[in-house]
């Protein structure tokens, strides 16, 4: 479906925004849009504005009266279970577990978004994630059933 393609483009663009904001001090939407265009991502200021809102970016001071975009400190609130379900339903295509590992497959470009959401959900069962473009490796703590955690993740995709 064409809608999946649009969603994949959006997820890819938002993953790029995340990487840019974490690597550079971005002061304005126009500056962010220009960097995206340099990376061959065609955007408008309105699109960047919507992405900033959806990513929950905030302006924080960084010296001499200047402000830059950053992720909020209260990431657990920003990545609630409801938001996690929405992310999983939108982009996750497959979840498989083995031992204390879970592999999550996503639409192209969405791996970073899903890993970011999992890392900031602060699930006590998880040690952490390693993300690629469309694949995430999730490491589950010793003594915790990766199969149970994977099943919980699968339920997020199927539950309304």
Q: How far is CA 94 from CA 24, 105, 156, in A?
A: 33, 5, 12
Domain at 124, CATH number: 3.30.1360.40
SS3 137: strand
Q: Which of 45, 70, 95 delimits the end of a domain? A: 70
pLDDT of residue 76: 46
Tell me: do 84 and 152 sit in the same domain. Answer: yes
Q: Which of 10, 38, 70 delimits the end of a domain? A: 70
> What are the tens digits of pLDDT across the range 13-50?
999 999 999 889 999 999 999 999 999 999 998 999 99
DSSP class of residue 102 equals: E
Task: Compute the distance between CA of residue 107 and CA of residue 91 in angstroms, rounded to an integer.
Answer: 5
Answering whether pTM is above 0.85, one says: no
Q: Which of 37, 70, 103 delimits the end of a domain? A: 70
Q: Which residues contact 1 (CB under 8 A, 6 or more apart)?
A: none
Q: Quote the crossing angle between the two packed helices 29-38 and 45-54, to the nearest 10°.
A: 110
Domain at 58, CATH number: 1.10.10.10
For residue 84, the enclosing domain spans 76-158
Number of domains in the chain: 2
> What are the tens digits of pLDDT across the range 57-98?
888 777 777 888 888 764 444 456 777 888 899 899 999 999
> What are the tens digits of pLDDT across the range 112-131?
889 888 887 778 899 999 99
């Amino acid at each position: 479906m064409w809608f999946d393609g649009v969603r994949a483009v959006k997820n890819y663009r938002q993953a790029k925004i995340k990487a840019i904001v974490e690597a550079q001090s971005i002061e304005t939407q126009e500056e962010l849009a220009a960097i995206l265009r340099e990376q061959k991502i065609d955007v408008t200021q309105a699109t960047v504005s919507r992405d900033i809102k959806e990513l929950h970016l905030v302006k924080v001071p960084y010296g001499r009266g200047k402000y830059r975009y950053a992720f909020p400190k209260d990431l657990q609130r920003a990545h609630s279970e409801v938001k996690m379900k929405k992310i999983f339903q939108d982009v996750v295509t497959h979840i498989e577990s083995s031992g204390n590992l879970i592999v999550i497959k996503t639409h192209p470009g969405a791996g970073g978004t899903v890993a970011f959401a999992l890392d900031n959900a602060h699930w006590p069962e998880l040690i952490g994630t390693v993300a690629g473009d469309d694949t995430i490796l999730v490491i589950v703590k010793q003594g915790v059933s990766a199969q149970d955690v994977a099943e919980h993740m699968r339920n997020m995709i199927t539950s309304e």
